[in-house]
Amino acid sequence: MLSWIDGQPAELLSVKDRGLAYGDGLFETIAVTSGKASLLDRHLARLAAGCARLQIPLDMALLTAELLAFSQQLGDGVAKLILTRGDGLRGYAPPQPAQPRRILQGAAKPSYPVLNAEQGVRLFPCATRLAEQPLLAGLKHLNRLEQVLARAEWQDAEHAEGLMLDVSGRVIEGVYSNLFIVKQDVLLTAQLSRCGVAGVMRAELLEQAAALGIECQVRDLSYAELLAGDEVFLCNSLYGIWPVRALLTHDWPVGPLTRKLQNIARDLLDC
């Protein structure tokens, strides 16, 4: 596996790193095709917003240059970018000044079943609920234990993704995807001001849909609204869009708006 730390080939990490001790950092998972990183501007913008909120210094020019060089060396695959606050002493207080650590890992693209995109997937109803923390909501931070617990709830091949609600029962997202509902030609997705990850593909699809004249609403969504949807689909920055065909005993068709946006997402990832 290709691996760089602070711009140099390396695999060993300091035991003092605050990413390991406290999850004090952020990450981006980026599809790379023919040496080019997909949706790069959106990934870097989300990372910059996360650094601003967590008050982690960011040398964007240096990070961008490293990521471009890493992507060219990787060729085809997935680049995982991890930015931690760097080393620290014992205790929660952030070091002053912090010296952030840049970690890049390259791997082969995941081999998802073709039927996931063509015929749709079945969702697993996760019992694990997302806690509400507005200070961290939307960020791709390193604390992913809720997702770890949720993903451990199923091991069968029948379910490709899990549905995650928040502690109040609102529909939020998949374990590693964002979720959209289509109702009467209106595109709905969850408000992520309390919890959840604001995915880069989610942001891109909202912009693309609006440009096509499709009404988009970002707001709280109930479980009843999910079941009443005309179409449901998942998205992320690696596989694009998967239609959702079933959850427990409920079924949805793979509808025309899902297919239209699926083609757009496919083009975005085909650098």
160 and 80 in a common domain: no
Distance, CA of 147 to CA of 217 (rounded, Å): 25
pLDDT at 1: 82
Of the residues 82, 107, 132, the one at which a domain ends: 107
Looking at the fold, whether 135 and 232 belong to one and the same domain comes out as: yes
**Which is nearest to 177 in space by CA: 141, 123, 113, 118?**
123
**Range 247-254, long-range pairs (CB < 8 A, 24+ positions):** 247/122, 247/123, 247/125, 247/163, 248/125, 252/120, 254/119, 254/120
Span 9-28, pLDDT tens digits: 999 999 999 999 999 999 99
Together in a domain, 147 and 68: no
* CATH of residue 181: 3.20.10.10
Give catalytic residues, as residue numbers.
Answer: 29, 140, 173
Report the number of distinct structural domains present in the chain: 2
The residue segments making up the domain with residue 6 are: 2-107
- Find the CATH number of the domain harbouring 94: 3.30.470.10
Question: Which of 62, 91, 107 delimits the end of a domain?
Answer: 107
Q: Which of these three, 79, 107, 135, is where a domain ends?
A: 107
141 & 251 share domain? yes
Q: Is residue 54 pLDDT above 90, yes or no?
A: yes
The mean predicted confidence, pLDDT, of the chain is 96
